[in-house]
Amino acid sequence: MSGIASGMWTTLKHFFTSLRKPVTVQYPEERLPLAVGFRGLPRLVYDLQTGDARCVACGICAQACPVGVIHIDSHRGPDGRKLLDRFDIEAGGCVFCGLCVEACPFDALTMTAGFELAAYNRPALLWPKERLLVPGTPENDANMHWIMSGVEKMGKTPPSAWPRAAQEAGLMPPDGGKPAEAVEPGEAEEKIPAAAGSVSQD
């Protein structure tokens, strides 16, 4: 019986020591801090100088994505530069590998702490450019590090998942930019883009 007794003594000791400090985190009221560099949903980096995304629509991220969930449309502007029309990420298909972020030569993509991405319908899982681009100002640029958790800003660990943190900081409207509206099950097929990652330009 001594083997069973020593096992039960171990669990009994733990019962009393963890009464003082339980390890349970009362999610969603409390959240565990995430590591810096956590790989959540990618987002477009906002360039304070130009007031728009840093992305130049080269399409390297769409090519690097192993599951083809990045969809890019662009056209040539009057000065010959490429202008970004559409930058969609299907959050429902993204595997959060970070290969797009590593591939981007302009540091226009970064991973966030966003993993709480549940939606009520499939089209709402498609994140368009407006949702992926969090606007910044010089004042709130200091707070950006805790919305994103890109490796280049080794600051505090983000307190909670994005975009809720961005909305609470007033950087994003509460409805999250322009999410897709709910559709009837039959209509969903037209609104979802093609299966493979697509880059199209005029």
Partner 1 sequence: MTPEPAFAVQEEATQEGNLLTINMGPQHPSTHGVFRLVLTLDGETVVAARPVMGYLHRSVEKLCESRTYLQDVIFTDRLDYLASMSTNLPYALAIEKLAGIEVPERAEYIRVIMCELQRIAAHCVAIGTFAADVGTFFTPLLYTFRERERILDIFEMCCGARMTVSYIRYGGVSRDIPEEGIEAIRRFVEVMPERIDEYERLLTNNEIFIARTRNVGILPPELAIAYSVTGPVLRASGVQYDIRRAEPYSIYDRFDFEIPVRYNGDCYDRYLVRIAEMRQSVRIIEQALRDLPKGEIRAKLPRVFRPPPGAAYARTESPKGELGFYVVSDGKTEPYRVHIRPPSFVNLTALAPLLIGHKVADVVVILGSIDIVMGEVDR
| Binding stretches for partner 1 (CB under 8 A) | 1-4, 6-7, 10-11, 23, 34-39, 64-66, 95-99, 102, 111, 151, 154
State the minimum distance, in angstroms, from the CB of residue 97 to partner 1. Answer: 5
State the minimum distance, in angstroms, from the CB of residue 121 to partner 1. Answer: 26
Provide the β-strand partners of residue 53.
Answer: 46
Distance, in Å, from the CA atom of 78 to the CA atom of 51, rounded to the nearest integer, reads 19
User: Which residue number, 63 or 140, has a Cβ lying nearer to partner 1?
Assistant: 63
User: Which residue number, 102 or 187, has a Cβ lying nearer to partner 1?
Assistant: 102
Distance, in Å, from the CA atom of 128 to the CA atom of 176, rounded to the nearest integer, reads 11
Question: Of 63, 87, 89, nearest to 74 (Cα)?
Answer: 87
Q: Where are the alpha helices (DSSP H) in the chain?
A: 2-20, 60-64, 99-103, 129-132, 164-168, 188-191
Q: Are strands 199-201 and 70-76 parallel, antiparallel or unpaired?
A: parallel
Q: Is 8 left (phi over 0), alpha (psi -120 to 50) or beta?
A: alpha
User: Which residue number, 11 or 50, has a Cβ lying nearer to partner 1?
Assistant: 11
State the minimum distance, in angstroms, from the CB of residue 41 to partner 1. Answer: 12
State the minimum distance, in angstroms, from the CB of residue 185 to partner 1. Answer: 26
Check if the beta carbon of residue 101 is closer than 8 Å to that of residue 152: no
Rounded-to-5 percentages of helix, strand, coil across the chain = 25, 15, 55
User: Which residue number, 9 or 81, has a Cβ lying nearer to partner 1?
Assistant: 9
State the minimum distance, in angstroms, from the CB of residue 137 to partner 1. Answer: 28
User: Which residue number, 3 or 174, has a Cβ lying nearer to partner 1?
Assistant: 3
User: Which residue number, 38 or 46, has a Cβ lying nearer to partner 1?
Assistant: 38
State the minimum distance, in angstroms, from the CB of residue 49 to partner 1. Answer: 27
